[in-house]
Amino acid sequence: MNKVYIDKLSGHVNKEVQINGWLYNSRSSGKIAFLMVRDGSGIIQGVVSKSDVSEEVFTSIGDLTQESSLSIIGKIVEDSRSESGYEMHVSDIIIHQIADEYPISLKEHGTSFLMDNRHLWVRSKKQNAILRIRHTIIKACRDFLDNNDFILVDTPIFTPTSCEGTSNLFETDYFGRVAYLAQSGQLYSEATAVSLGRVYCFGPTFRAEKSKTRRHLTEFWMVEPEVAYADLNDNMELAERFVAYIVERVLEIRKEELKIIDRDTSKLENVVPPFPRISYTDAVEKLNSSGHKFEWGDDFGGEDETVLAELFDKPVLVHRYPAAIKAFYMKRDENDEKLALGVDMLAPEGYGEIIGGGQREDDYDTILKRLKEHKLSEKDFKWYLDLRRYGSVPHSGFGMGIERAVAWICGLKHIRETIPFPRTTHRLEP
């Protein structure tokens, strides 16, 4: 029998096929039963007439519970009213397992219950749609960079030093030494950018975030392009082209899924370059003049970012932050030593920072001084200092948190639904 996925039925009309899946829902009225079967790619209704199947098969339908695994065999017919566009006239059913009473019914459940049952929750329609969109976002990141001649260079997860400050490091024993889980692959990408010109790393990153917010995970995925001979402006241009491409691809490929999760896409359609650019100093002024009190020198919190981003109808690039609140590796603005050539991209609709990056300090003596100021060990960073000794050039890059991007593009209130199995301060299971 021809095994077919529900989203690939168009060439099989009026033909007998087999669909392998799980029971989503069912109803029966004596002589006819309707089975809603999902197979991961979609949901189809199987119509079972008592006269079309053996008595044994028809009786067995009564045993089927939600999420029981089964194969339905029968003829595909067009049905414009249904979600898949087709239904099946079932001639046979193979039952693989009768599921125990399924904890997640089709009615509403509380978040903590759903999170405890995340391993089952991922099967639900909305979660399935979000995971598909996440997949497309990741693929779009790769496609954009690959099509623009970036080389993927993986960076290590066990690292001897910090990249983004020492306050949120995960420490682990490494054969009697201390190792830290990578907060970012950036420092290593700076090395490979000198070998290959344009590179990116893409992997899981870890931060022992003590703050419990709807934007923070302890384990998240980051894509980080790094470009030799690129300055801050080149970096901002790359970031906006990158994000615009991702949004465009999702709008094009995931229309159905965006509908399933009720995403109002009108604001996403507006995400085309150029994005507004504003300096941190001007941003602070704008915040204060719009009645939101904020002190120059402080780092933006979630609320500040939301207010700021609301002043624009596209993602906004905020550049030239106070050096004191940024990482050691950031190059200073030659016109004002207090400023770092960093840039953050803030997403609209209250999603805040989705990208952080900037131009890197490329002078040996300066970066050595910065390491000391940040109380980082010169010895641990010897290899990194070498990059400033052998063919140092201006270079820039950024990192985009995949889950932040998914939350924004999907319009999700909380980051926990953007990753299959979220890790937060209070959650290690399932």
Rounded distance between C-alpha atoms, residue 400 and residue 423, angstroms: 18
Position 350 contacts Mg ion (CB under 5 A):
no
Stretch that binds Mg ion, among 284-292, 310-318, 348-356, 418-426 (CB under 5 A): 348-356
Question: Residues 72, 95: contact at Cβ < 8 Å?
Answer: no
Six token digits for residue 246: 């991702």
Position 357 contacts Mg ion (CB under 5 A):
no
Rounded distance between C-alpha atoms, residue 202 and residue 14, angstroms: 45
Position 404 contacts ligand 4AD (CB under 6 A):
yes
Position 354 contacts ligand 4AD (CB under 6 A):
yes
Position 401 contacts ligand 4AD (CB under 6 A):
yes
Q: Nearest Cα to 403, choosing from 355, 359, 332?
A: 355
SS3 317: strand
Residue type, 352: G
Rounded distance between C-alpha atoms, residue 209 and residue 169, angstroms: 9
Rounded distance between C-alpha atoms, residue 90 and residue 48, angstroms: 5
Q: Which helix (H) or strand (E) holds 278?
A: strand 277-279
Question: Residues 161, 174: contact at Cβ < 8 Å?
Answer: no
Give phi and psi for 282, each to the nearest 5. -65, -35
- Closer to Mg ion by CB, 43 or 330: give it: 330
Of these, 353, 361, 362, 417, which contacts ligand 4AD (CB under 6 A)? Answer: 353
Position 355 contacts ligand 4AD (CB under 6 A):
yes
In the region spanning residues 191 to 230, those forming contacts with ligand 4AD, defined by CB under 6 A, are 207, 209, 216-217, 220, 222, 224
- Edge-to-edge strand list for the sheet holding 177-181: 158-159, 177-181, 171-174
Binds 315: which of ligand 4AD, Mg ion, none (CB < 5-8 Å by kind): none
Residue type, 190: E
- Closer to ligand 4AD by CB, 163 or 371: give it: 163
Position 315 contacts ligand 4AD (CB under 6 A):
no
Position 417 contacts ligand 4AD (CB under 6 A):
no
Q: Least distance (Å) from Mg ion to the CB of residue 425?
A: 18
Rounded distance between C-alpha atoms, residue 370 and residue 324, angstroms: 11
Of these, 46, 348, 352, 356, which contacts Mg ion (CB under 5 A)? Answer: 356
Of these, 136, 162, 186, 192, which contacts ligand 4AD (CB under 6 A)? Answer: 186
Stretch that binds ligand 4AD, among 26-34, 64-72, 102-110, 393-401 (CB under 6 A): 393-401
DSSP3 helix / strand / coil % (the chain, rounded to 5): 35, 30, 35
Q: Least distance (Å) from ligand 4AD to the CB of residue 190?
A: 9
- Closer to Mg ion by CB, 356 or 422: give it: 356
- Tell me the sheet residues that pair with 24: none
- Closer to Mg ion by CB, 348 or 356: give it: 356
Question: Residues 355, 400: contact at Cβ < 8 Å?
Answer: yes
* Total residues in contact with Mg ion, by rule CB under 5 A: 1
Binds 352: which of ligand 4AD, Mg ion, none (CB < 5-8 Å by kind): none
Stretch that binds ligand 4AD, among 80-88, 238-246, 330-338, 392-400 (CB under 6 A): 392-400
Of these, 184, 192, 306, 359, which contacts ligand 4AD (CB under 6 A)? Answer: 184
Six token digits for residue 229: 């001979």
Burial class (CB in 10 A: 0-12, 13-18, 19+), 14: exposed
Residue nearest to ligand 4AD (CB): 356
SS3 325: helix
Q: Least distance (Å) from ligand 4AD to the CB of residue 164?
A: 5
Position 322 contacts ligand 4AD (CB under 6 A):
no
Question: Using CB under 6 A as the criterion, which residues of the chain lie in contact with ligand 4AD when the complex forms?
Answer: 163-164, 184, 186, 207, 209, 216-217, 220, 222, 224, 353-357, 397-401, 403-404
